[in-house]
């Protein structure tokens, strides 16, 4: 499929409900910190063929652009590592906590999840399902109601809304 089309379908959309507004506000709060990773985000996006706004959105959702990440790079339970929270039992973390190598690994995991979604779904939903799977695992994304098993029941919708904000602000 044409990833350019998918990119646009995911990050376009009407500004709408209060949840979207909350997501946009959180993305904006993280924008100054996100600048620290912007070059790496763009390099990875170009190399992997993925929307930089989606990478930024996941960094925002997972660690508030590093703001809530302990200095060790590991989350509280020691389960996930780095600004994109790579789960260690599934993938041995690569690189430093906010390195381009880390972002490359995490983006690769996301792409694998997108590619594992049901091929009968429209491309935008495969993309969104891959975002949900990044949070809850591909086995938990069984229908087009992809957020039913994600953290807070809103992971994919929140990431897409944050990506819309980043798309309109230079990503």
pLDDT of residue 6: 45
Tell me the residue range of the domain where 37 lies: 3-58+98-167
Q: Which residue has the tokens 């039992």?
A: 89
Q: Is residue 159 part of a domain?
A: yes
Task: Name the stretches of the chain with pLDDT < 50.
Answer: 1-9, 12-15
CATH number, domain with residue 39: 1.10.530.10
41 is a domain residue = yes
CA distance 70 to 105: 20
Q: Is residue 86 part of a domain?
A: no
34 in a structural domain: yes
Residues 6+ away with beta carbon under 8 Å from 171:
38, 41, 52, 53, 56
Q: What per-residue confidence (pLDDT) applies to 1?
A: 37
Please check whether residue 90 lies inside any domain of the structure: no
**Residue 3: its pLDDT value, please?**
42
Give dist(CA 60, CA 142) in Å, integer: 25
Evaluate whether 56 touches 171 at the Cβ level (below 8 Å): yes
- List the catalytic residues: 62
Say if pTM beats, i.e. exceeds, 0.85.
yes
Helix (H, G, I), strand (E, B) or coil at 145: coil
Q: Is residue 110 part of a domain?
A: yes
Number of structural domains the chain divides into: 1
Handedness of CA 40, 152, 124, 105 (dihedral sign): positive
């Amino acid at each position: 499929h044409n990833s350019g089309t998918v990119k646009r379908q995911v990050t376009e959309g009407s500004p709408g409900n209060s949840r979207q507004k909350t997501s946009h506000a959180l993305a904006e709060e993280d924008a100054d910190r996100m600048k620290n990773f912007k070059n790496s985000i763009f390099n990875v996006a170009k190399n992997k063929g993925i929307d930089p706004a989606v990478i930024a959105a996941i960094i925002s959702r997972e660690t508030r652009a590093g703001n809530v990440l302990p200095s060790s790079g590991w989350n509280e339970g020691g389960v996930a590592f780095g600004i994109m929270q790579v789960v260690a039992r599934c993938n041995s973390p690569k690189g430093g906590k906010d390195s381009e190598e880390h972002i490359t690994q995490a983006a690769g995991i996301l792409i694998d999840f997108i590619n594992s979604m049901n091929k009968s779904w429209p491309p935008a939903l495969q993309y969104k399902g891959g975002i949900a799977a990044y949070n809850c695992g591909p086995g938990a994304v069984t229908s087009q109601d992809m957020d039913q098993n994600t953290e807070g029941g809103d992971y994919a919708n929140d990431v897409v809304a944050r990506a819309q904000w980043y798309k309109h602000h230079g990503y």
